[in-house]
Structure 1
Amino acid sequence: MTASSSIDARLGVVSYLNTLPLIDGLDRARGVEIVAAVPSSLAGLLAAGATDLSLCSVIDQQRSEVPLELVPVGQIGCDGPTWTVRLFSNRPLSEIETVGCDVDSHTSIALLRILLQEQYGLKPRFEPFDASGPVREDWPDAVLLIGDKVVRSGPGTDTHPHQLDLGEAWRELTGLPFVFASWFRRADAAGEELERARRLAVLVDHARRRNRHRIATIAKRHAPSHGWEIGQAIEYLGTRLCYECTPRSIEAIRTFLEAASKVSDPGERRPPLRIAADVMASA
C-alpha cells in the first residue's frame, strides 16, 4: 500500500472451512481488512468498490455489470469429488423435476444445470432455497447444497438416497478439474485501488503457499467450529481440494463458461474470461 493510501486493502472472502488454506493468517496482516460474505455476494461487493480483491464464484465474472478479471494467485477447485457441492434427491436423478438451490452460490447452480442436461437430458425448474440456519427436516424433494452445511446438516440417505457430487460428475463428463471460485479484481482498477489489489494478490499468494504445509494445523484449529471431524477435514483440505491456479485450471474455467453459455438464457451476457497480465503466482 502506498504511503498516500488512506484506507486498508479490502479482501473479500467466504467463511467456509475450505477457504482457510487461502487466507489463514491474513487477519493479522497490517493494513488489510477482511470482508466476509457468501460466495454469491462477493462479485457484487467487488463491482461496487467495497473490496479490492475478492474470492468470487467464477460464473459471476460473466454476470457482473463491471468488468472483472481473474488474478491467478489461488482458487477453490477440485479434480474429482469435492464433498461440499452436492445434489440430494429423494427420487432417481433422472426423475427430478424441480431443484431447490442453495442461494449461497451461482457457479454451482450453473454447473448443476449443465450436468443434468448433459447426463440426463433434464431441464428442471431451479428454485431458490435458503439452507441456512439449524438442522431442518423440511427439505425439498431435490436440493443443491454447498459449503460446510453439506457435511454438517444436509439431508441423510434415509430420506434422500440419490446424490450427486458435482465435482466428481464434472470430472467424469469432461476429464477436467473444476474451479468454483478464484480471486478477481475490477478490470478497470487504477491508482490506489490497483495498488491495493496488487498488494493483496501478493499476500494471498504467500498465504496459500505457506498454508499448504499447515493443513493439519488449520484443520485441528478450525474444523470443530465448522461442524467437521478433524480427520475428515484434513483429507478434505489436503487431498480433495485444489488451491493453485494452473493452466489446467484456466482451461477448466473456459470449458465451464462455454458449457454454461449453451444452457443459459440467450440474452445473458457472455464476456470472455479476462486474466490479469501483471500478476503471476509464485511456484
Structure 2
Amino acid sequence: MAPLRIGVVRYLNTAPLIEGLDAAENIELIAAVPAHIAGMVQENKVQIGLVSTIDVARSLTPLTLIPKGIIGCDGPTLTVRVFSMCPPEKITTLAMDTDSHTSAALAQIILWHQYGLRPRTVEFDARERMTHGSDTGELWPETMLLIGDKVVTDSPPAVRYPYQIDLGEAWKELTGLPFVYAIWMCPSSIAGTPAVRTAAALLERQRLRNEQRLDWIVSTRAAEKGWPDDLARRYLGERLRFSCGPREREAIVRFLDEATQLGLVPACSPEWFDAEIGIES
C-alpha cells in the first residue's frame, strides 16, 4: 500500500506536532515552507498538510480543516513580527516574507485596525534578503514582516528597527482571541476516507505524546535550529498553542472574516473534519 503523504514545515515551532511522525508506518513526510503546503495539497503531492490558515479561503480545491493540531498562540508569539525603521503610522510599504501567507494577511489586518493603513505590499525573500523585482539585494527594507526561526536566529539589527509589532500580541489586543497560523487540512473529497481518519488519529496521538516530552524535543531540536535551549523551552512551552479547541475555531472564523472585509480573500465558511462522518459544517 502506498504511504499517505503529509506536508509539513520543519521550523522549531512544528516539532511538537511532527516529531516522531516519520517513524509511523505508511506515512511519508514531505517538507516545505508554509506558503507552499496548500499548493501541495491541491496538486495531490500530499494528502494532508499543515496548511497556512488563510489558504483555506484561497484554495481552488475545497479543503477540510482537521483540528488535531495547530500552530497558534494566545498572545505574543515571538516569531511573527513586523520590523520597521519608521513609526508604524508612517509605514507606506510592507515587505512580506515569502514563506508565509497567513502572517502576511494578519499584518495587513493589524495595520488597518491599529493605524488605518493599507500599505503597498511587496514580496521579500528573507533568506536572500531580496525584495521582489529588485536585483540590488538591499540587505533589509524599511519595513518588513518576518516569520519563523529566522526571527530569532537571523533577525535584523534591533538598532536599525526600533519599531516592532508582535502580531500574535496585536491580534489578542484587537480581538481577545488566540490566533491560528496553520492547521492540518486535507481535500474535502477524501476527508471521510479510512486513510484520512487513521492519519487524523495518528496526528492527535503524536501531538499528545509530544506534549509530554517538550524538554526532550528542546534538547534534541533547539540547537540544530539555532535556538538557545532556554528560549526554545519558553517559546514552545509558554508562547505557543498546539491544540484546537472552541476558542481556536472561533479565532479562525474571525480571522477569515477580517481578511474578507479587507478584500484579501473571498468569503469562506470552513468545513471541519469529524472522525465519525468525515466533514461537519
TM-score by length of structure 2 reads 0.93
Alignment check: 8 A CA contact 2:256 2:268 kept: no
Alignment check: 8 A CA contact 1:59 1:257 kept: yes
Alignment of 1:129-168 (within 5 A): 129-133=124-128, 138-168=139-169
How many residues matched? 270
Alignment check: 8 A CA contact 1:53 1:201 kept: no
Alignment of 1:86-235 (within 5 A): 86-133=81-128, 138-189=139-190, 194-235=193-234
Q: Which runs of 4+ in 1 moved over 4 A?
A: none
Distance 2:78 2:208 in 1: 23
Q: Does 1:277 align with 2:274?
A: yes
How far the C-alpha of 1:179 sits from its partner, in A, is 0.4
Distance 2:224 2:156 in 1: 20
* Partner amino acid, structure 1, of 2:33: V
* Partner amino acid, structure 2, of 1:123: R
Alignment of 1:31-70 (within 5 A): 31-70=26-65
How far the C-alpha of 1:258 sits from its partner, in A, is 0.4
In structure 1, the gaps of 5 or more residues are 1-5
Distance 2:257 2:181 in 1: 15
Distance 1:132 1:279 in 2: 43
Distance 2:226 2:169 in 1: 23
Alignment check: 8 A CA contact 1:52 1:196 kept: no
Percent identity between the two aligned chains: 46
State the match for 2:134 in structure 1: none
Aligned-CA RMSD value: 1.6
Paired residue secondary structure (1:132): coil
Deviates more, 1:242-251 or 1:43-52: 43-52
Alignment check: 8 A CA contact 1:71 1:279 kept: no
Paired residue secondary structure (1:63): coil
TM-score by length of structure 1 reads 0.92
How far the C-alpha of 1:278 sits from its partner, in A, is 2.7
Alignment check: 8 A CA contact 2:191 2:197 kept: no
Alignment check: 8 A CA contact 1:70 1:185 kept: yes
**Residue of structure 2 aligned with 1:73, choices 65, 68, 76:** 68
Alignment check: 8 A CA contact 2:191 2:273 kept: no
In structure 2, the gaps of 5 or more residues are 130-136
Alignment check: 8 A CA contact 1:63 1:270 kept: no
